[in-house]
Amino acid sequence: MKLSNKLVEDVVTTVAGADVLPLVKQLKNKKNVSEFKLAELLELEINMVRNMLYRLYHANLVSFIRRKDKKKGWYIYYWTFKIKQIKYLAVTIKKEKLERLKGRLEREQETQFFICPSSCMRLDFERAVNFDFKCPECATIMEQESNEEKVKQLQEDIATLEKEVS
């Protein structure tokens, strides 16, 4: 897996949110950047910058050191982006997605689904029975859905992800 800018952006967006990308661009390839300097560069409140940094820290994408300001007496945090974590997180995210897709595939294969002709709702057999096979939104009689295409698409997505993970 090649460490591209797109991969970095995708992983950061997934684990911390898209709003953190400008912060990551400021931190990337630098060491021990003051949170106050980051707030100044991004023209954001220090609390917003700290919130973003904590989200990155929770995902283990940044580290910090703490130093006491000799004049003011309070601690200042200096942050470093951990680029090496990106590949590990990318694989972890793909494995989690793979597990969710496998669960969804299993549910699609084992369950009969009924769909409203007006596309209001899609219910499994048990829930459709509870509503007497009438759509709870518009009261139209529901039809049994053929989910062969969904199953096929899920199988393809799973195969693709399995290749990427291995």
Asked if the model's pLDDT at residue 1 lies above 70, the reply is no
Indicate whether 68 and 123 sit together in one domain.
Answer: no
Residue 92 maps to a domain: no
Residue 91 maps to a domain: no
List Cβ neighbours of 71 (8 Å cut-off, separation of 6 or more).
Answer: none
Q: What's the domain range around 159?
A: 99-165
Indicate whether 9 and 54 sit together in one domain.
Answer: yes
**Boundary-marking domain end, from 23, 57, 83:** 83
Indicate whether 129 and 72 sit together in one domain.
Answer: no
Residue 106 maps to a domain: yes
Considering the chain, what percentage of its residues have pLDDT values greater than 70? 99
Asked if the model's pLDDT at residue 15 lies above 80, the reply is yes
The number of distinct structural domains making up the chain is: 2
The reported pLDDT for the residue numbered 133 is: 94
Indicate whether 72 and 10 sit together in one domain.
Answer: yes
Indicate whether 108 and 144 sit together in one domain.
Answer: yes
Asked if the model's pLDDT at residue 111 lies above 60, the reply is yes
The residue behind tokens 């199988």 is 155
Asked if the model's pLDDT at residue 64 lies above 90, the reply is yes
Residue 145 maps to a domain: yes
CATH number of the domain where residue 49 is located: 1.10.10.10
Residue 13 maps to a domain: yes
Residue 66, strand partner residues: 77
Indicate whether 74 and 12 sit together in one domain.
Answer: yes
Residue 93 maps to a domain: no
Indicate whether 47 and 74 sit together in one domain.
Answer: yes
